Structure 1
Amino acid sequence: MANHAHNPVLAELRERIEQLEGGARRARQVLPFGVTEVDRSLPGGGLAFGALHEIAGGGGGTVDGAAAALFVAGVAARAGGKVLWCMARPDLFFPAVTQAGLPPDRVVFCESDREEQVLDAIEQGLSFRGLAVVVGELVRLPMTASRRLQLAAEKTGAMGIVLRRWRRQNEASDYGQPTASTTRWRISTLPSQRLPVAGVGRARWLAELMRVKAGECAEFEIGAPDAKGRICLLPTAIDRADQTARRRSLAG
């Protein structure tokens, strides 16, 4: 009988099978938001690892773009592990990112003045085992490129996030084009949460889940990430009106 104990071909085959099975297990893992209404809109109850996600500001302005970046920072903060952040414009205000729960010692920055090189850096980062999240700032994301990023994320189990940023308002129309991303989000700023005393309340955003594989679109009014990257669900204007009406009826 042949001795298979030290057969290099079988050993290599076992290693490849373990890698494939390990990648499949990681791909099935998700990162819950910890908000029931949001998590139940996502297959598996959270943002999938081993997958690509797109996030953009609700408009072409700086304020919505900054809100989208902080939303991404909150996700990366809760994911744990090292984060690679690829960008073409070195204008990320890191003190705000730190307030969203992502400390500087967990982030490796990759800067380039060409978007093609940023795209290559994202793909290489997703192909490298050892990163929890790879964030890349892009204006455009062609279907072919998004498929490469999705496949790279599936192989390593890392979470890929493309933060879409526009230099001009007309570039925002590209966000409606199809890609291979698992989810697509749009973050818009709203008036901050009211306080019972004078002051500025928690930043309030409209988070639109515009696309999700094997799920349905939804939108939520949320509070910005806290120091641990956690968002919260805030009452909508309709909810507040209902609460006011109930209080008045009880008082009457």
Structure 2
Amino acid sequence: MLAAATLADADRLRLLAELRAQVDAPASRHAQVLPFGIDALDARLAGGGLAAATLHEISAGSPTLGDDAAATLFVAGIAARFAERPGGMVVWAITRLDLYAPGLEQAGLSPDRLLYVEARDDVMALALAEDALRDGSFAAVIAEVKVADQTATRRLQLAACDGATPMLLLRRWRKTARDPLDQPSTAMTRWRIGCAPSVRLPHPGVGRACWSVELTRQRGGNPFSLLLEACDDTGRLALPAAAPDRAFAAGRAASQAA
């Protein structure tokens, strides 16, 4: 009788431990973040980086082609870093085939890690993104749309949590006078990306592209804006070097070449 009671107690303890693990698993999963590797940026983000398994929204700073390209490459760089693990694949739901693959590769997102999913309209693009999120096997999911109401973003947020997959929603401009981020959303962060003048070089030539990176809203933190150098071929941003540092770097490069 005593042995049976002991066995029953052990079963109860084991069941209790399993239930606790199931409760704790989503918390630990949602706590994962992707830092940018820039102290001035990560220190201002509530979690020290971009939280995985949640929704992030990005928009161009203006309806110009330059800002639209900057926002697209910003998204590509983030997705590339989420997909750094071996076999990591990114799903990109689109309504028009206007992505430039060599440009995405320069931002770190190579064609062999990218799966394009073409939709007839925004509603289908959002539905395809939701299905990809719930599948849970992708490193990141991207969808570019012009319209996504609060119900749609709530569904994406829940799907991202269920599938433990980051969702990057690229909001395109519909009208030149209407900001894509003026609609309510359940996104964890909302970003506005625009072009900025390149850092002046000590010699004739074109410097690394610079972006105006503005975080308009984040849960648990304050908005801010920074001037950053565009993504390199690994998807990483950088702080523009100060003028004395650039002069020193140029002098060192010249001496090494000599």
Corresponding residue number in structure 2 for 1:232:
238
Equivalent residue for 2:75, pick from 65, 72, 85: 72
For residue 25 of structure 1, what is the aligned residue in structure 2?
28
1:71 CA drift (Å): 0.4
Structure-1 residue corresponding to 2:132: 125
C-alpha distance in structure 2 between counterparts of 1:161 and 1:180, whole Å: 13
Rg larger in structure: 2
Deviation at 1:77, TM superposition (A): 1.1
Q: Given residue 157 of structure 1, which amino acid in structure 2 is its aligned partner?
A: A
* Unmatched tracts of structure 2, length 5 or more: 244-258
Q: 1:208 to 1:18 in 2, by over 3 A?
A: same
Q: From the superposition, tell whether residues 19 and 102 of structure 1 become closer, same or farther in structure 2 (CA, over 3 Å).
A: farther
Q: Distance in 1 between matches of 2:35 and 2:80?
A: 12
Alignment-mate amino acid for residue 75 of structure 1 = I
Calculate the aligned-residue CA RMSD, in Å: 2.5
Structure 1 residue 20: deviation in Å? Answer: 5.5
**Which ranges of structure 1 fall in alignment gaps of 5 or more residues?**
241-252
Could you state the TM-score of these two structures normalised by the residue count of structure 1?
A: 0.85
Q: Is the 8 A contact 1:24 1:154 kept in 2?
A: no
Q: Which residue of 1 aligns with 2:219?
A: 213
Q: How does 1:152-231 map to 2 (within 5 A)?
A: 152-170=159-177, 172-231=178-237
In 2, the alpha carbon distance for the partners of 1:216 and 1:159 equals 21
Distance change in 2, residues 1:24/1:155 (3 Å) = farther
Kindly indicate whether the alpha-carbon contact (under 8 Å) linking 2:173 and 2:179 is maintained by their aligned counterparts in 1.
no
Cα shift at 1:202: 0.3
Q: Deviations over 1:48-79 (max 9, x none)?
A: 00110000100011110110000011111111
Counterpart Cα distance in 2 of 1:47 and 1:36: 13
2:67 is matched by which residue type in structure 1? D
Question: CA–CA distance in 2 between the matches of 1:184 and 1:43?
Answer: 13
1:50 matched to which residue of 2? 53
Does 1:105 find its partner at 2:112? yes
For the residue of structure 2 that corresponds to 1:202, the secondary structure is coil
Instruction: Please state whether the residue corresponding to 1:130 is helix, strand or coil.
Output: coil
For 2:160, the aligned partner's letter is A
Q: Check the 8 A contact 1:23/1:156 in 2, yes or no.
A: no
Residues 33 and 48, structure 2, Cα contact 8 Å, conserved in 1: yes
1:41 aligned partner, one-letter code: R
User: Which amino acid counterpart does residue 133 of structure 2 have in structure 1?
Assistant: L
Question: In structure 2, how many angstroms separate the alpha carbons of the residues matched to 1:18 and 1:106?
Answer: 33
> Structure 1 residues 197 and 28, CA, compared in 2 at 3 Å: closer, same or farther?
same
Secondary structure at 1:33 match in 2? coil
Q: Deviations over 1:72-130 (max 9, x none)?
A: 11111111221110011110011010001111111111011211100101111111111
Q: Is the 8 A contact 1:20 1:155 kept in 2?
A: no
Cα shift at 1:19: 5.8
State the 1:21 CA deviation: 3.9
Distance in 2 (CA, whole Å) between partners of 1:44 and 1:163 is 22
User: Cα distance, 1:18 vs. partner?
Assistant: 5.5
Q: Which residue of 2 aligns with 1:243?
A: none
Partners of 1:136 and 1:186 in 2: CA distance: 16
Identity of aligned residues (%): 42
Tell me the CA shift for residue 168 of structure 1: 3.1
| Matched pairs, number | 233
Q: 1:104 to 1:20 in 2, by over 3 A?
A: farther
Give the letter for the 2:93 counterpart.
C
Shift of 1:24: 2.8
